Amino acid sequence: MVADQRSMVQEVLAPPAISGRHLVKNYGPHRALAGVDIDVRRGEAVAIVGPSGSGKSTLLHVLAGIVPADAGEVCLAGSRIDELSEARRSELRRSEFGFVFQQGMLVDELTAEENVALPMLLGGTSRAEAMQAARYWLDRLGLAGRHRSMPGELSGGQAQRVAIARALAHRPTVVFADEPTGQLDSRTGAEIMDVLLEICAETNAAILVVTHDQELASRATRSIRIRDGRIESAVLTA
């Protein structure tokens, strides 16, 4: 009991897995982010919702270091990452972050396991190690029989599971998911969301999910609504 409490206290005192302070981003005259503050802790799943053009994806990209902010700061486990060089940020994205996009964005000519292994291979991991990790994650995501399937032979939900396996294979600290169920029917979308949340909970990763779908957002720990580049509301959902 005491140990549990100590653990909770440590978790509260520990810096957030990823945080953004006073984030501003402009695209020409259009202000995509207008001073956003956000913290996401390990094991926490945060859904970002809002209408089209509200700045959801921009916030995700700025936090992930894909797009530089015009002002504000981004920290990973308390250390600023927005001041790092592009090469260093790429390295961080490769080692600390995982990405799931609206479409699986799989390479058509590669099998499911090769698609999962590809980022690791590009990062210098050996063939044996990368393929072993790929098979493990495909099995974890319920694709035990589809290792050698080509993307064209997979359903939309299966392809997205492959994409999730690819994002998780290197055990990231933070997973960024941009409309991961946008191309799927509602039942498959719900299944995918559950798988994503379940795995992240197991691996104690922080997860940020951008979605239009309120139903899916309600499955996250916290839901943040954005409008015109500002946080309109934040709701604890679980």
Partner 1 sequence: MNALSIAFRVLRVDRRTRTSAFLTAVGVAVATSLVLLLLGLPYAVDAREERVAWQNKAEQTLVDQRQDAPALIKISTDRFGDQEIGRLDVALTGKGRLDLPPGVTRLPGPGESLVSPALAELIDKQPASSLGERFGKVVGYIGSAGLRHDDQLFALVGQRVEDMGEDALPISDFTTSAYYTDYDLELLAGVGLVVLLVPSLVLVASAARLTATRRERRLAAFRLAGATPQQVMAMVVAELAIPTVVGVVLGAAVNPLVRMWASEVPWDGSEWHPSDLAAPTELVVGAVVCLPLLVIGAAVFGLRRVVITPLGAMQRTPTKPLSWLRVLALPAALAVFVVAAQLGAGNMVVLGALATLIGSATVVGPWVTAAVGRFLVKAWRGPAGLLAGRRLHTDPKAAYRASSGVVLAVFVGAMALTLLPTLESTDFGPPEPTFAPSTLRLNATADQADKVVERIDDRLTRYGQQERAVRLDNAVVNDANGAPYPAYIGDCKEAAPLFGLSPQVCLDQPAVYGVGGTPVSLDAEYDQSTFPLPKGVATADLPRPVVLVDRELVPEGFKATASLVAVATSDTDTDLIRTAMVAGSAGAEVFSDVDMVASGTDRLDELRRITAIGIVIAGLLAGCSAAIATAGAVMDRRRTFGALIAAGTQVPVLARTLRVEAALPAIIATVGAGVTGTIVGVVLVSLIENAPAVVLTPWLLAPVVVGVIVAVLAGSVCGPALRRVRQEPLSDE
Binding site for partner 1 (CB under 8 A): 57, 61, 64, 66, 87, 90-95, 97-99, 101, 103, 105-110, 114, 118-119, 121-123, 127, 150, 152, 167, 178
> Is 25 or 219 the residue whose CB approaches partner 1 more closely?
25
Strand partners, 45: 207
Give the nearest distance from C-beta 166 to partner 1 in angstroms.
8
Smallest distance from the beta carbon of 178 to partner 1, in angstroms? 7
The rounded Cα 155 to chain-centroid distance in angstroms is 22
* Residue environment code for 89-120, b if the CB has 16+ CB neighbours within 10 A, otherwise e: beebbeebbbbbbbebebeeeebbbbbbbbbb
Token digits of residue 200: 């992240």
Of 82 and 178, nearer to partner 1 (C-beta) is 178
Cβ nearer to partner 1, comparing 98 with 189: 98
Closest approach, Cβ 165 to partner 1, in A, equals 13
Q: Least distance (Å) from partner 1 to the CB of residue 4?
A: 35
Nearest distance, CB of residue 110 and partner 1, angstroms? 6
> Minimum CB separation from partner 1 for residue 27, in Å?
12
The residue with tokens 């390295």 is 91
With respect to partner 1, which residue has the nearer C-beta, 150 or 201? Answer: 150
Q: Considering the complex, state which of residue 117 and residue 219 has its C-beta at the smaller distance from partner 1.
A: 117
What the block records as the tokens of 213 is: 């779908």
DSSP assignment, residue 237? -
Question: What does 43-78 look like in DSSP terms, one character per residue?
Answer: T-EEEEE-STTSSHHHHHHHHHTSS--SEEEEEETT
Q: In 3-state terms, what secondary structure has residue 173?
A: coil
Nearer to partner 1, 103 or 186 (CB): 103
Specify the DSSP class assigned to residue 213.
Answer: -
Q: Are the beta carbons of 172 and 97 closer than 8 angstroms? A: yes
